[in-house]
Amino acid sequence: MSHTTDTPPVPAEAPGPDERSRYRRATDAVDERLGIRAIQYPVPAHANTISYSLGGLTAVALVILIVTGIVLGQFYNPDPAAANESVRAIVNSVYLGRWIRGVHYWAAEAMYVLAILHLLRIYFTGSYKRPREGNWLIGVAMFALIIGGLFTGTVLKWDQEGFEALSHNLELGKLLGGLGFWFGTGFSSGVPILVRLYVAHVSIIPGLIVVLLFLHALLIKRHKISPNPANRTETGEPAEPFTHHLRRIAALGLLLLGILGVLAAVFPPGVGPTPVEGIEVTRPPWMYWWMFTLENWVGLSGILWGAVVLFALLVALPFIDRNPRRHWKQRPIAMGVGALVLITLIVLTVLEAVTTPGQHLTGM
């Protein structure tokens, strides 16, 4: 007698409508408690273009910096007597240490460049105008913090380049008089300034960036993404859920991570020997070159004045530019002034690249 005729048919393995409804029930239950579906609000199609995704990519670079920074923080020693040696140990002895340090370094460069490109997009599309002036100012503050992060990161490796960067920091602190108290060694005489810059690098600066980024995102949500000035049929523009935009940023972010990974493997950042006091021989990282040309011309105060003028212009921009138009063709003055500032910064940068580093510090 065969059993096959008596055995009931085995139910199919594939998920049926029941399984799906179980999944649906689970997501409904989570949504009811956390409201996750609220992020599916519609965003216009132009938000998915590369130029409108630069802010999102800057945020991806920040995440990469935080993750790799946490790993580096396990092996870096901010004691001035041990700092340089601990960086060498990361590079030579820690498993994947050289590569992770490389990704951290290249992510910092990428974040700086992406933030500038993002800023230029905002400028070009007039997106800093009413009602987004406040968000522009938050952006300017984040940009200043990014520069602060690059500076403190340079000092941490505690080689000749880092040491000379710190010496500039100390002299600039003196120039600032009472305002520069935090930058001097006397502010907290029991704690080496390297330790304080380390605290700024790993907690104060990234912490402030994260808080400001949260406010930045809230305001973007509140004002909605600015219209694309080149788009004449704004009302008829198709919209997609924000989750599609996030997916696109994630894909671009993976591409960015891949590029950073290759750069880290092929061009790992160097670390020099322990510093020698009293000499000034290194060239600062390229993002500071425009300031150092000014220093070559007028002395150390050139760095201070250059930075003050640039940031004063950035802060004042939405209040000076009262032209309500957003298309670049209808903003000849803004386009002219923007181009002038950009070309000046590029020329000053190139000039530093072609001159030999000079002696500027009073203590040298």
**78 burial type by CB count under 10 A (0-12 exposed, 13-18 middle, 19+ buried):** buried
User: Quick check: 323 and 331 in contact, CB under 8 A?
Assistant: yes
What's the closest the beta carbon of residue 46 comes to ligand HEM, in angstroms? Answer: 9
What's the closest the beta carbon of residue 17 comes to ligand HEM, in angstroms? Answer: 38
User: Quick check: 239 and 44 in contact, CB under 8 A?
Assistant: yes
Closest by CA to 99, choosing from 147, 107, 153, is 107
What's the closest the beta carbon of residue 229 comes to ligand HEM, in angstroms? Answer: 10
**52 burial type by CB count under 10 A (0-12 exposed, 13-18 middle, 19+ buried):** buried
What's the closest the beta carbon of residue 238 comes to ligand HEM, in angstroms? Answer: 18
Return the number of the residue (44 or 102) whose C-beta is nearest ligand HEM.
Answer: 44
Return the number of the residue (162 or 306) whose C-beta is nearest ligand HEM.
Answer: 306
Return the number of the residue (104 or 216) whose C-beta is nearest ligand HEM.
Answer: 216
User: Could you tell me how far CA 10 lies from the centroid of its own chain?
Assistant: 57
What's the closest the beta carbon of residue 211 comes to ligand HEM, in angstroms? Answer: 11
Residues in touch with ligand HEM (CB under 6 A): 52-56, 58-59, 62, 115, 118-119, 122, 127-128, 132, 135-136, 139-140, 142-143, 209, 213, 216, 220, 225-226
Closest by CA to 64, choosing from 292, 259, 283, is 259
What's the closest the beta carbon of residue 188 comes to ligand HEM, in angstroms? Answer: 28
Phi then psi dihedrals of residue 158, to 5 deg: 55, 40
Return the number of the residue (52 or 151) whose C-beta is nearest ligand HEM.
Answer: 52
Return the number of the residue (59 or 108) whose C-beta is nearest ligand HEM.
Answer: 59
3-state secondary structure of 26: helix
What's the closest the beta carbon of residue 318 comes to ligand HEM, in angstroms? Answer: 9
Return the number of the residue (33 or 130) whose C-beta is nearest ligand HEM.
Answer: 130
What's the closest the beta carbon of residue 327 comes to ligand HEM, in angstroms? Answer: 14
Closest by CA to 171, choosing from 159, 182, 162, 183, is 183
Return the number of the residue (80 or 134) whose C-beta is nearest ligand HEM.
Answer: 134
What's the closest the beta carbon of residue 27 comes to ligand HEM, in angstroms? Answer: 26
Return the number of the residue (42 or 299) whose C-beta is nearest ligand HEM.
Answer: 42
Nearest residue to ligand HEM on Cβ basis = 139
Return the number of the residue (139 or 153) whose C-beta is nearest ligand HEM.
Answer: 139
